[in-house]
Amino acid sequence: MLTKLLHRIFYKTLQCKILQNICRQGKSCLEFSKLSNCSKLHSGCSVYQLHPPKLFAASESLLQTPDTMEDKVDVTEVSEGLAKVMLPSSVFYNPVQEYNRDLTVAIISEFSSESFQNLNQRKTENGAAANNETSDQAIPLESGKFYENGISIFEGLAASGLRSVRFGLEIPGVREIIANDFDKNAVSFIERNIQKNGVHHIVKARHGDAAMGMYEHRNENDRFDVIDLDPYGSPTIFLDAALQAVKDGGLLCVTCTDAAVLCGNAPEKCNANYGSVSLRSKFCHEMGVRIILQCLDSHANRYSRYIVPLISLSVDFYFRVFVRVYTGQKQVKHSSTKRAMIFECVGCGAYMIQPMAEALPTKGEGNFKFVPGSGPVAQQLCQHCHHKHRMGGPIWSAPIHDKEFVRRVINRVQAGSQTFHTADRIVGMLSVVLEELPDVPMYYVLDAVCGVLHCTPPNMKVFRSALLNGGYRVSLSHAAKNSYKTDAPPGFIWDVMRAWVKNNPVSEKRLTPGSAAKNILEQQQTHEVSFTEHADANPRSREKGMLRWQTNPEPYWGPKARAKRGHNEDLVAKQLANQGKTKKYKEDIFDSNGKKLNIDQTSEEKVKM
C-alpha cells in the first residue's frame, strides 16, 4: 500500500515527462509498478533515482512486449507500391523516400533478371554446347514467387519492413529476403507486415545486429546476392561487413543521409568516417558521391575486391549508390588510378584534378607498371584570379555510372510505370545521367560563375553553344540545377565570360582591387568565342520537359529524426514548438519576485528562480 501511495504522490507532484511520453499505463498510478523494467525510466526519471528500486514492485511483464504492443501502440496503415504495411505512430513515414524505394526495386529487378540470364547462358554453354544450341532470350520471371536458384537479399536496417515486403512482392526471381533490425519491437512489426502481405515464403525477419548478420555470411557459399543498407546518417560502420558478405558480382546498395558531412560542413568528420576531406563547394553533391565510392572501393581492396559503379546519385537530402563487387587482385591494383585529389580556387571556383597514380603499359598484353601521379597540377595561386587553392579528397575519379545498365533500368521502369509512383522522376533523372560526360569529374554552376564576375547570367543554351562552338563537350549534371559538366579548361570558360561581359558590362563599383572579378576581367581574352546557337545546345531531357528534380511534395518533406521507442508526439508539432527555443528561453526567465533575469547571469541564480 505504501508503494502505491508513493507512486501516486510522485506522479502527481513531479509530473514525470518520461512517464507520460513512454508509458501509456502511467496514466494509472496503480500500474506504475510495471515501470521497474523500463530502461529509460531508470536512466532519466527523478522518481527512480531518488528512491531505492525496492519501492518499485517488480513485474514479470515488460512495459512493451511483442504480444501486447499491438494493443498499446497506435499504428497507421501505409500503402506503397504493391505493399500495405502497418507502422507504429512513433516511426515516421517519409513519402519523399518512395523515390528511393522505387528506384531500388527497379535496379534490383534488373539485376535479378540479368543474373538469371547469365545463369541460363552458363547452363547452355555447359550442357548444350555439344548440340551448338544457344539462347539469348530473356527468361520470364514472376514477382512474389519463390525460385530455388533465385537471388538472396539482405536488408540490414529494415525498421517496419516496408522495403523488404516490397522486394518480396515486386522483384522477380527471388529465393530469400532477410529483413533485419536491432529493435525487438521493429522486428515484431516486420513479422506482422510479412504475414499481412503474404510474403512469408520469401521474406524472413531477423532480430540482431546488422554487421554481425553480414559477418556470419562471409563464407563464399553463404554470401548474399544483394545487400541493401539504408541507415540514419553514415553507413560506414557496416561497410567492412557488407563488402565481405556480398557475392562475387553481387549488388551493394548504400544510402548516406549525412549530406552535411559529405558536402563540406565538417571536413574533419568526413575524413574520420570516409577517409576523405570534403569541400564546401558548388560541386559538393557530386563530390559527396565520389567520396562514398572511393570509401567503398577502399574497404573492398582490403579483401582483394573492387567495385564497379552502376548508378550513383545525389538525391534531395541524401546520396544513393549502387555498385557491383568483384574479386580479383589484378584489377585491385588499378584502384589507385581511379582516385584523385582535387584543388579548388577559393576566389573563382576553378578546379583541377590530381590523379594519385597512373598505370604505364609494359611488356606483355595487359601488363602495367603503377607509378605515383605526377604534379602538382595547381600552382600556389590561381592563374585566373590570383587567389589561393584548397585541396580535398581523395575522390573516385573514374565513371560513376554504367550507362548500358541505366538504359535497361529506364526501359524496365517505363514498362512497369503503373507500379512505380515516382516513375516520371526516375526516368527523368536517369535520362540526365545518360547525358552526363562519364570522364569529367565535377561540374560548374552557371549562376555561381556569373556571381564571381557580378554579371547578368547568359541563357544556358547560349552558354552551352559557346562551349560547343569552341570544340568542347558539355552536359548537364543530375546533382544540381543550372549545372554543366565540360572538358573545356577554366581558361576557355573565363574567355567565354569575358566575351559575354563585353556586351553585358559589369558596374565598376563591383570591381574592387584584388577581387576575383577584377583580376579575371583585367586579363586579355585569348580564345575566339562564338555565341551562335549550336544544334546540341538544348539537351534532350530538357527539350522533352522530363521531370528531373524534386518538387516539394508536401510541407516539412525533408529528412526526419531517428525513430524513438514509445515516442508518440507529432514530429512536425515538435519542430514548430522548438522554433526560436533559445530566444524564448532568454525572454522567459524571472526570479521569485517576478523580476526578469538576464541570460548571462550565473547558473546558480537560474536554479533559484
pLDDT single digits (tens) 458-475? 999 999 999 999 999 999
In a shared domain, residues 195 and 287:
yes
Residue 68, Cβ neighbours under 10 Å: how many?
12
From CA 227, how far away is CA 153, in angstroms rounded?
6
Question: Do 47 and 81 fall into the same domain?
Answer: no
Exposed/middle/buried for residue 189 (C-beta within 10 Å: 0-12, 13-18, 19+): buried
Asked if residue 107 and residue 201 are part of one domain, the reply reads yes
Cis peptide before 489 (omega within 30 of 0): no
Residue 327 lies in a domain: yes
3-state secondary structure string across 35-67: HHHCHHHHHHCHHHHHCCHHHCCCCCCCCCCHH
Instruction: Give the pLDDT score at 75.
Output: 87
Beta bridge partners of 83: 80
- Is the same domain home to 267 and 211? yes
Same domain, 152 and 49: no
- Mean pLDDT, rounded, for 294-310: 98
Do 199 and 140 share a structural domain?
Answer: yes
Instruction: For residue 223, tell me if it sits in a domain.
Output: yes
Give me the domain span that covers residue 20.
2-65
The answer to whether residues 54 and 126 belong to one domain is no
Q: Which residues contact 317 (CB under 8 A, 6 or more apart)?
A: 257, 259, 558, 559
Confidence of residue 74 (pLDDT cuts 50, 70, 90): confident
Give me the mean pLDDT over the 285-305 stretch.
Answer: 98
Per-residue pLDDT, averaged over 139-151, amounts to 91
Give the whole-angstrom CA distance, residue 143 versus residue 141.
7
Question: Residue 227 corresponds to which cell in the numbers above?
Answer: 545487400
Length of the chain: 609
Residue 163 CA to residue 180 CA, distance in Å, equals 11
Res. 61: pLDDT tops 90: no
Residue at 149 is within a domain: yes
- Residue 303, domain CATH: 3.40.50.150
Instruction: Write down the pLDDT at residue 559.
Output: 61
The answer to whether 161 touches 205, Cβ cutoff 8 Å, is: yes
CA distance linking residue 156 with residue 160, whole number of Å: 12
Which pLDDT does position 263 carry in this prediction? 97
Q: What is the pLDDT of residue 577?
A: 67
Q: Indicate whether 577 and 466 sit together in one domain.
A: no
Contact assessment for residue 350 and residue 516, using Cβ atoms and an 8 Å cutoff: no
Give domain status of residue 85, yes or no: yes
pLDDT of 170 above 70: yes
Is the model's pLDDT at 188 over the cut of 70? Answer: yes
3-state secondary structure of 121: helix
Q: Is residue 512 part of a domain?
A: yes
Would the pLDDT of 57 be above 80? Answer: no
Among the listed residues 223, 209, 211, 216, the one whose alpha carbon sits nearest the alpha carbon of residue 152: 223
Give pLDDT, residue 314: 96
Task: State which amino acid sits at residue 431.
Answer: S
User: Is pLDDT at 290 greater than 60 in this prediction?
Assistant: yes
Q: Is 326 exposed, middle or buried (0-12, 13-18, 19+ CB in 10 A)?
A: middle
In a domain, 422, yes or no: no
**24-28, 234-238, 269-273: least confidently modelled range:** 24-28
- The total of structural domains in the chain comes to 4
- The predicted pLDDT at position 90 comes to 64
pLDDT digits over 536-592, tens only? 999 988 888 888 766 665 665 556 555 554 444 555 666 666 776 655 554 555 555
CA nearest to 489, candidates 599, 300, 348: 348
Alpha helices (H) in 454-526, listed in sequence order:
460-469, 490-503, 516-521
Is it the case that residue 13 has pLDDT exceeding 50? Answer: no
In a domain, 343, yes or no: no
- Tell me, what's the pLDDT at 3? 44
Average pLDDT, the chain: 84
- Which residues lie closer than 8 Å to 17 by C-beta, 6 or more apart? none
- Of the residues 300, 335, 370, which one is the last residue of a structural domain? 335
For every residue of 191-257, DSSP letters joined together read HHHHHHHT-TTTEEEEES-HHHHHHTT-SGGG-EEEEEE--SS--HHHHHHHHHHEEEEEEEEEEE-
C-alpha cell recorded at residue 539: 539537351
CB 284 within 8 A of CB 278: yes
Domain co-membership, 261 together with 200: yes
Same domain, 198 and 327: yes
* Pair 600, 483 in one domain: no
Q: Please, which pLDDT band fits residue 419 given cuts at 50, 70 and 90?
A: confident
Write down the H helix ranges in 275-422: 284-301, 329-332, 403-415
Between CA 85 and CA 77 the distance in angstroms is 6
pTM as predicted: 0.81
Cross-strand bridge partners of residue 389:
345
- Beta-carbon neighbour count of residue 493 at 10 Å? 23
pLDDT-derived band at 41 (thresholds 50, 70, 90) equals: very low
Q: Using an 8 Å Cβ cutoff, are 36 and 73 in contact? A: no
The verdict on residue 141 lying in a domain is: yes
Which residues are paired to 369 by β-bridges?
A: 360
Q: What is the pLDDT of residues 317-341, one digit of tens each?
A: 999 999 999 999 999 999 999 999 9
Lowest mean pLDDT, pick from 74-88, 290-304, 553-567 = 553-567
